[in-house]
Each structure stands twice: as C-alpha cells, then as structure tokens.
C-alpha cells in the first residue's frame, strides 16, 4: 500500500492548484449592461450572513433593512407603512431572486414581506 499512496494523492495535489471561477452577475436597470461603478443608482446586496446577524436582534424585515441601509428609515407604525421612507424611487425587494414587491406601484406594507 505504501507504493500506491503517492499515486492516489497526485490528483488531490493537482486540484489544490486550480482556481475557482466566480460567477459574474450583471445588474441592469436600463436593459443595457454597464459596470456597477458607472450606474447612477445605488445598489445594495445584503448577504444571508448579514441578515443572520440582524435576526439575533429583531425578526422585523423593516427594522433589519433600517439597520443595514443608511437610506432606509423603518416605519414607526405597525398597521401602515406611514413613516417608512427610502430616499429615491420605490425599492424592489427580492428574496433569493424572487420579487417580493412591485416598485412600479406603491404597496402598503412592502417592507414587511
């Protein structure tokens, strides 16, 4: 067995030197591709790890967004979205790529999806 072990470990050594390609995501607001640095808009991506850290403090999505996004002020009322503000246009909330709101129409409780 001692003669076969180096031959069995050779493929593992070859794999250790390979690079992992990271998928590039194209974000488009005008249906034309452009680097994020040249787009005149603010794009915030919140990772699952960021949300997990915030879930230790609150279960309210509006409060989590208020803690993570400087431009978002969560609602102070529970039954309406009155007081919930975000500078700029209405946001599109997406969870795992699935839209949770419609930025073309103002929904009543989009931040609480």
List all residues 6 or more positions away from 112 whose beta carbon is below 8 Å from its beta carbon: 60, 61, 62, 81
pLDDT at 108: 46
Residue 32 lies in a domain: no
Residue 6 lies in a domain: no
**What's the predicted TM-score (pTM) here?**
0.44
Residue 95 lies in a domain: yes
How many domains are contained in the chain?
A: 1
* Element of type H or E holding 6: helix 5-16
Residue 104 lies in a domain: yes
From first to last of its 113 residues, the chain has per-residue pLDDT tens of: 456 655 565 665 565 666 667 777 666 555 667 777 777 777 777 888 998 999 998 888 778 888 888 777 766 666 655 555 566 666 677 777 777 776 666 554 555 54
Residue 2 lies in a domain: no
Residue 20 lies in a domain: no
pLDDT at 68: 87
Residue 92 lies in a domain: yes
Residue 16 lies in a domain: no
Domain extent at residue 85: 45-113
């Amino acid at each position: 067995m001692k003669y076969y072990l180096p031959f069995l470990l050779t493929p593992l050594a070859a794999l250790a030197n390979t690079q992992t390609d990271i998928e590039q995501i194209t974000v488009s607001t005008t249906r034309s591709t452009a680097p994020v640095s040249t787009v005149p808009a603010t794009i915030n991506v919140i990772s699952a790890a960021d949300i997990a850290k915030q879930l230790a403090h609150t279960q309210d999505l509006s409060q989590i967004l208020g803690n993570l996004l400087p431009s978002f002020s969560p609602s102070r009322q529970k039954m309406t979205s009155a007081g919930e503000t975000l500078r700029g246009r209405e946001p599109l909330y997406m969870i795992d790529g699935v839209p949770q709101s419609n930025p073309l129409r103002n929904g009543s409780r989009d931040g609480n999806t």
